[in-house]
Amino acid sequence: MDVENVRMGAMTEEIMEQLEPLITQSLKCFRFRGNPEKEQVLQIMICLMNHKLKLSDADPTDCLMKLAVSTFARPEECIDPQLFETLMHFLATATRFQVEERYQKPITAATMLMKAIGKLSEASVHCAMKAVSFAVHNGRFEGRDVDELLKTPQTTWNRCMSFAPTETLYTLSLLLEKNGSTIKNKELFWTTLSKWLEQNHGNDRNVPFPAIAFPVTILSDYLLSDEVNLFEKMDQWLVDGNTSNIQGRCIFIAALYFSREKDRDWRRYLKYVLENGKGSQAAEYLLDYADRELIEEITEEDLYDPKLEGGINDLVVERLRDQHFCGSYQDLCHSIICLGEASVLDFIDIVEKEWPYDDWMWALLVSEFQRLDDDPEHRLDLTYRLQDLAESLAERFNSDVYLKFLANTENAGLDLSCLNMTQVKFILDQATPGCLDKGYVLRGVRNLIYHPRMAQLIAEDELGTAKMLMKLAENVSGIPVNNALLASYSQYRVDFHVKGEMDDRRVREIKKLTQSIFAISQEVNLRNPKKLPKALAACFRHPILNSIFNIPIVAMKCFNWIPVVEILRKPSITCLPPTGHVCDVIVLDDMRNRLRKVGFVTNAQFEVLFTTMQAVIAHTVIGPEKLDHDTKDAMEREERSCNALQMYIATILNSMKYPIGGDPYSGFVLKSPYTSELFLKSSEFAHLCNLKSAWKCEPRTAFTTPLERHDQLKWRKCDGKTERYGICQTPLFSLWQLCGMMPIEFKQHANYHRIDHSASNYFLTSATNIDTISNVKQLMNIFEYWYSQGIDELGENLLYTILQSILHLSDFFDDPDLHKAVLRTTSIIYRREYDLNPLLASYVYIMFLKSISVLGADMNGLELKPGELEAITMKLVIAGLGHTKKVVRIHTLAGLLYLVQSDSYESFMPSIDLLSTCLERYLKKLANGTSKVQTDETQFVLALVVKLLEVPIRLKQDKKTLLKLLLAAMRVRKDRFIIELIAEGIEQLLCRSNEFNGNVINFLLAGIESPEPIPFPLDHPYYCRAVYRILMVAATRAKVANDEMSMTRIYKALQKLGFDLLKRRSCCPAITRTLPFFSICINGVENTIASYIEAFMVNGNNIQARHGMSLMNQIVETAATSKKWTVELKAVREKMQSKRESLDEHNQLLLNILCSKLID
């Protein structure tokens, strides 16, 4: 019988008729059934009682009640102690729905269990305490009912703590009853806890942080009082060096520290926790939240315990790894996936049994699924994909398991229509305050809320899902929606407008829900002044919660604004932001702050914000209009306009977020410049992208991320998006497309490498129902009017805000005339020497250069003298590149990046030559190795160098000199981000141009092929990996060009470098995934196998032998992509089988791998 179907509430008379004989038959032989069947029958009865349904021919409740009473009367005789908790649940449910009080109370059954604790086994004590804690938490009882439970001897409580500490602590916490200024039963709690802290039971590691921290926080005043003398006990812990129950002590000290006496020195107590509790939650909390001066002596190396890096218990997985002949956990996951559905599900069962509170193995399993899904060359016998796993887990649904799955499938593009509303509710219910310490809980919940499936469920039932997410927000934020919270916000009035006919009772319910959402929204906003945690922000992405969260309480408090909440018949709730009070600066700041935290969800919100900001901007007084206003009023209007412009741009940019528009935690899409290089259309390039994906990037984004927009915080995981919208976000070819200067539809190369989504087109067509581009033009007309009144009339702050706004708005211009208007404006500002202010100058420089790059030869109507544009450009470049302020130099470099891609660059060659001279000087400084450089400025320098090498521009400087300086800088620098940038730039250069392949190969192979004259820096791991990646591209280029000599040189170097990297490091999955392909290309299958066995198995240590096994597995995968190699591999297997008896242990292992992995 499927219990979940009963929980879904799909009860009909027909089902009841079928159910009656089944349950009656089950009860007749109940005692003779196994534990799973008994569990099911009890759960079905609990569900039936919750549905208030009873069977007609008999009342099974009485039958099961007799069983429960007899079980709790003599629990030591029960053969299924695992049923204690379910039986207690049955008692609690039955007593809740009974008409007459004739059933035994759960608290009475709990007392009987406690009396029998001394007679129970260790495992049974754990089951008993789970039942007792359930009874105390869920059972209905009065004060006198618990007196018998409190008479339990202290020795019994100590035994419970020994074998079930978490459940016992939970029970004792529930028995703490606050009465006025005193707390009952505090002595019982402290006596039991202190006794447990002194003893070593071996189960302290399994006690979660809140189990101790929550009651200790409640009792902090009592524990810190003279009555307890707590610090004497803690001092003794420090002195005697006894590490018994170290995890429990660490949690106790950490919890006490956060409720501490401010005048006491906690330094040595915190040191005790950080030194003895490495890797524990207590240590992590202290490192995150304790005063830094108290823990400053702890070094970074002391923060991690190497024994904890691989998980809690690796023995089971180690055996599996050996059984499947795998060298790493990634290989194991790969082998399991290739074996199909049954093996994957069995593996998940093992993982859940061994690591119930961790998801580290889930991360490896899901990432391997995604890698195989993205690999078009993978063997066709892979029949079980990630989507199939999602559906299988939904069929055998377990909320905690599915949560771990969701936690590791961000942006996986899965169809979760297999999840129904009830299952979603069960998943969200996992995010209880006690479970938030598990990292996967919040990640899984967040990914579920952001998934399109959740949007479908929200559309079907907005109010129901709003209640679910409000409850989730309570749990995640730790802010309960109780009478105290509601009372604190009762002073703020909210009006309701009911649209359509609706039942009065329903309306009252909706109003009550709205008040609760309003209270928790304002409290969450108050307690998180900068930004919300991601999971909490996800809760407020629900349309109802979002519209209420964005109510600016400042407008209600200072201007008596009364928001109007519309109750729709759907039913749903909506509340639009204010329009009449946004002219005040503090209201604008409040609204902007809220949008930065949760964004907006509906088009209506976007439209109101958009048009309201324009209304504010239009009320700015300029020129002669100032005569009708005093100075103070004019300045206030100007300040409001600055704020409104900033919010206007923020609203536009938020609407461009992808994949969820308006979501602050989504990203901005990057588009790589279009190029027609034939190599990018080849199958070899597609294979190269798959190899590159081993370095944590998606195949479709490999070699396409613009260098100038590489995110310094997220470069290790390139997904084609950035968190911030910055300069050069939209490439020049996209600006041409928008202005109709280049057709939008053109033949694309290797589609799966590109992000098809166009950010600018998405904004113009999808973000809102209003005509957005017309409003942009209207805003530009307002600016033109202000300029006509005289730029001198604009305050410096307003002018700066205008230029900043235009810089972003120009990414959305669909008319070249708008770029001409920008060019006219910046020319006027430049001529009037407004560039004396560095911030103004920086925006003038980049917008001027950007405009002339977009317009190219189309300069009609600009009223410029011949040569004037080139002269201004030269002056701007000289002033910008030589400026003392970094921001001006960066903006100038960004503008020049547009210019060198323009089709009119020849007209500005003097400026470009000056640029190349500056770049050469900067590269020499970079190649010096010791010179300090600014990372953000270096990023644009490197992007320009690569672009100048790529485009067909004849420079004054020798391009090969620039390339050598670039390679030399990569070799000598120690900054990892700069090394990665240079490597990425050279990879992209080789992909788009074959001109420099030989130069790059000769430079990088110096020192690898022979030790003289320059030794290769093998002790520089970042450089070695960068060289390995670049050589992969160069080798593929040489293969396409049929350059056999270069191919042989590079393959040999790759093998030598790969061997050295594997021998020096304990983990190099990217090398083991990519090296076999190149080794087979040069040596063939049999020779490659022989060289790997000799290098890693015969002459290697245990770690290197693991690498050898990983390489053997990858050889099988690589051979599957080629018919020729597959034939060679099968020949090797047959040859080894023919002399099986004489094989040594290494070749015998190889034969086992081939027999188990190679499919006929």
What is d(CA 575, CA 443) in angstroms, rounded to the nearest whole number? 29
What does the pLDDT average to over 377-384?
Answer: 64
Strand partners, 1142: none
Residue 679 domain-assigned? yes
Residue 236 domain-assigned? no
Question: In this predicted model, what pLDDT tens digit does every residue of 319-329 receive, in sequence order?
Answer: 888 888 888 88
Where residue 310 falls among pLDDT bands split at 50, 70, 90? very low
Q: What is the pLDDT of residue 635?
A: 85
Provide the percentage of residues in the chain whose pLDDT is more than 70. Answer: 84
Query: Which H or E element spans position 590?
Result: helix 585-598
Is 676 in the same domain as 579?
no
| pLDDT at residue 370 is higher than 60 | yes
Q: What is the pLDDT of residue 761?
A: 42
φ, ψ dihedrals at 138, nearest 5°: -110, -20
Is 577 in the same domain as 688?
no
Q: What is the pLDDT of residue 437?
A: 62
Question: In this predicted model, what pLDDT tens digit does every residue of 901-946 receive, in sequence order?
Answer: 888 888 889 999 999 999 999 999 998 876 778 888 999 999 999 9
Say if residues 465 and 458 touch (Cβ distance below 8 Å).
yes
| pLDDT at residue 965 is higher than 90 | yes
Q: What is the pLDDT of residue 849?
A: 93
Is 575 in the same domain as 687?
no
Mark which of 586, 620, 651 sits at the end of a domain. Answer: 586
Question: In this predicted model, what pLDDT tens digit does every residue of 392-415 receive, in sequence order?
Answer: 999 999 999 999 999 998 877 889
Say if residues 238 and 265 touch (Cβ distance below 8 Å).
no
Residue 24 domain-assigned? no
Terminal-to-terminal C-alpha distance of the chain: 42
Residue 656 domain-assigned? no
φ, ψ dihedrals at 245, nearest 5°: 50, 45
Residue 1081 domain-assigned? no
What is d(CA 662, CA 1085) in angstroms, rounded to the nearest whole number? 53
Say if residues 598 and 546 touch (Cβ distance below 8 Å).
yes
Q: What is the pLDDT of residue 312?
A: 40
φ, ψ dihedrals at 179, nearest 5°: -130, 95
Please, what is the angle between helix 421-429 and helix 462-477, to 10°?
Answer: 10
And the tokens for 52? 């208030």
Question: In this predicted model, what pLDDT tens digit does every residue of 273-285 receive, in sequence order?
Answer: 887 777 677 887 8
Mark which of 556, 586, 616 sits at the end of a domain. Answer: 586
Where residue 951 falls among pLDDT bands split at 50, 70, 90? confident
Is 568 in the same domain as 478?
yes
Nearest to 922 by CA among 875, 1002, 876, 982: 982
Q: What is the pLDDT of residue 61?
A: 67
For Cα atoms 620, 621, 627, give the angle at the middle one, nearest 5 degrees.
160
How would you write 601-624 as a 3-class SS string?
A: CCHHHHHHHHHHHHHHHHCCCCHH
Question: In this predicted model, what pLDDT tens digit does every residue of 1054-1096 receive, in sequence order?
Answer: 988 888 888 876 567 788 888 898 888 888 899 999 988 888 8
What is d(CA 78, CA 72) in angstroms, rounded to the nearest whole number? 9
Rounded (to 5) percent helix, strand, coil in the chain:
70, 0, 30
Helix spans in 832-958 (H): 838-855, 868-881, 886-899, 909-927, 935-950
For Cα atoms 390, 396, 401, give the angle at the middle one, nearest 5 degrees.
65
Please give the tally of structural domains in the chain. Answer: 2
Query: Which H or E element spans position 668?
Result: strand 668-669
Residue 99 domain-assigned? no
Mark which of 737, 767, 797 sits at the end of a domain. Answer: 767
Provide the percentage of residues in the chain whose pLDDT is more than 90. Answer: 18
Is 466 in the same domain as 580?
yes
Maximum Cα–Cα distance for the chain, whole Å? 105
And the tokens for 970? 């990569």
Question: In this predicted model, what pLDDT tens digit does every residue of 207-251 receive, in sequence order?
Answer: 888 888 888 888 888 888 878 888 888 888 877 766 677 888 888
What does the pLDDT average to over 492-518?
Answer: 88
What does the pLDDT average to over 844-872?
Answer: 83
What is d(CA 1049, CA 919) in angstroms, rounded to the nearest whole number? 32
| pLDDT at residue 746 is higher than 80 | no
Residue 718 domain-assigned? yes
Is 582 in the same domain as 675?
no
Between 1099 and 833, name the one with better pLDDT: 1099
What does the pLDDT average to over 620-639?
Answer: 83
Q: Within 13 Å, how many C-alpha atoms sit on residue 3's CB side?
A: 15
| pLDDT at residue 1 is higher than 50 | no
Domain that holds residue 575: 461-586
Q: What is the pLDDT of residue 759?
A: 38
* Most confident listed range (46-60, 529-543, 563-577, 1143-1157): 529-543
Is 466 in the same domain as 566?
yes
What is d(CA 781, CA 787) in angstroms, rounded to the nearest whole number? 10
Question: In this predicted model, what pLDDT tens digit does every residue of 568-598 receive, in sequence order?
Answer: 877 677 776 676 666 677 888 888 899 899 9
Strand partners, 718: 697
549 burial type by CB count under 10 A (0-12 exposed, 13-18 middle, 19+ buried): buried
What is d(CA 792, CA 1070) in angstroms, rounded to the nearest whole number? 59
Residue 684 domain-assigned? yes
Kindly report the average pLDDT of the chain as a whole number: 81
Question: In this predicted model, what pLDDT tens digit does every residue of 164-189 receive, in sequence order?
Answer: 888 899 888 888 877 767 788 888 88
Question: In this predicted model, what pLDDT tens digit does every residue of 815-828 receive, in sequence order?
Answer: 888 888 888 888 88
Nearest to 697 by CA among 676, 670, 673: 670
Please, what is the angle between helix 462-477 and helix 452-460, to 10°?
Answer: 120
| pLDDT at residue 751 is higher than 50 | no
Nearest to 282 by CA among 241, 247, 308: 247
And the tokens for 642? 């600055």
Is 468 in the same domain as 578?
yes
Where residue 755 falls among pLDDT bands split at 50, 70, 90? very low
What is d(CA 1024, CA 1041) in angstroms, rounded to the nearest whole number? 25
Question: In this predicted model, what pLDDT tens digit does every residue of 718-728 receive, in sequence order?
Answer: 777 888 888 88
Please, what is the angle between helix 360-373 and helix 399-407, to 10°?
Answer: 60
Question: In this predicted model, what pLDDT tens digit does every residue of 1015-1026 receive, in sequence order?
Answer: 778 778 888 889
Nearest to 397 by CA among 413, 367, 371, 418: 418
What is d(CA 685, CA 680) in angstroms, rounded to the nearest whole number? 6
